Amino acid sequence: MITILAFIIVLGVLIFFHELGHFIVAKLSGVGVLKFSLGFGPALIKKRIGETQYQVAAFPLGGYVKMLGEDPDDKEKLTHIDPRRSFAHKRLPVKAAIVFAGPLFNFVLAVVVYTTIAWVGVPYLLPIVGEVQKASPADRAGMLTGDRIHTIAKKPVAGWDDVAETLQETGAAGSVEIEILREGKIFLLHVTPTMNKGKNIFGEEISRPMIGITVGEATAVKRYGPLGGIGYGFSQCYRIVELTGVAFAKMIKGTISVKESLGGPILIAQVSGQTFKAGLLPFVSLIAFISINLAIINLLPIPVLDGGHLLLFLIEGITGRPVEGKPREVAQQIGLFILVMLMLFAFYNDIVRIFKG
C-alpha cells in the first residue's frame, strides 16, 4: 500500500506540473482550454469552472490539457468559445511556447525541489574512516578507524565523496600524501593505492585506486544561502541532465545495456516506495530526478510527444505550411507505435528485474 501510495503521489505531482505548464501559458496566450485532466480514460472526478473542465481520470499514467483548435483535424464544433481563441489561430512562436511549457515546468519543479533542499540543508557523509581492511594500503600506512581525512595530495577533503574523487584524480602513480586528524592532532601518512576493478554509476567496469577503507556513519548538513541555494538547484538540475544525456549516448553506442538501464512504471513504483520509506528528502529528490527525465523524454522528436509537436512546428516554420491531413496522421501513428514499443520494452525489463530479484 505504501508503494502504491508513493507511486500515485509521484505521478500526480509530475503530471500536474507538466500539464500546469501547458495550461498557464495557454491561458496567458488567450487560448481556450477545454479540459485539464490528470490521467486518461473516463473521469472519476470532474468539475467545470468557466470554460474549462478539471478532472481526475481512471488511468493515472499521464494527463493532458485539451485546447480549442489544438488538433487541426478535430471536427468538434464549439460555439461557446470565441474561435479566435483557438490554438490553431495563434502564431507559430505562441504555439511552440505553449507546447514547450510542459517540459519547462518539469525542469522548474526539479530546480525548486533542489533549491528547497539546499536551503533546508544538504546532508553528506563526513570523511571519517569507518573500517580499515587488514593488510590494505591504508593499514600498512598506519590509518585507523575514526581518523578524519583532512587532505589528499594537498587537496582539502570536505566530505566522503571527495575521498574517492580525489584518489581517482591522483591515480595510482606511487605514494599519495594523506593528512589525517586524530585526537586533535594532524598526522601525515603516505599511502600507495592499488588499482581494483569496480563499477561506475552507469554499471560499466572501471579500474580505480583503492586504499582499503570504508566510510563511517558520521554525517553533517550543509545549508546554502538564498542565492547559493538557487545556484545549487540549477547546478544539480544541470548535472542530472548531463548524466541522463551521457546515459542515452552510452545506450545508443551499446556500451551499457538498455535492458539494465531502461525502466518503466513498475520500477518507478518500486523506487517510489523505497524512497518514501527512507524519508522526505530521498522521496522529493526522486520526484525531482524523474521530473527531469520526464522533461527530456517529452522533448524527444517523436510525434505525439511535445518534442514531436515542436518538430512539426519547425517544419511548418521552414516550409510555411502546417503539417496536416494524411502526413500528420501517419507521423502520429509512427510516434504512437514507437511510444508503445518503448513502454512494452520498459515493462518487460521491469518484470525481468522482479523475477531476477
With H, G, I as helix, E, B as strand and everything else as coil, classify residue 317.
helix
Q: Is-contact 97 306, C-beta < 8 A?
A: no
Closest CA to 160 of 229, 238, 233, 217: 217
> Nearest 5 degrees, angle CA 259-CA 110-CA 231?
120
Taking the C-alpha atoms of residue 130 and residue 216, their distance in angstroms, rounded to an integer, is 4
> How many other β-carbons are positioned within 10 Å of the β-carbon of residue 335?
20
Taking the C-alpha atoms of residue 188 and residue 167, their distance in angstroms, rounded to an integer, is 16
Catalytic residue among 19, 51, 131, 260: 19
Handedness of CA 102, 107, 110, 112 (dihedral sign): negative
Q: Is-contact 262 247, C-beta < 8 A?
A: no
Taking the C-alpha atoms of residue 244 and residue 289, their distance in angstroms, rounded to an integer, is 10
183 annotated active-site: no
CA atoms within 13 A on the CB side of 234: 5
Active site residues: 19
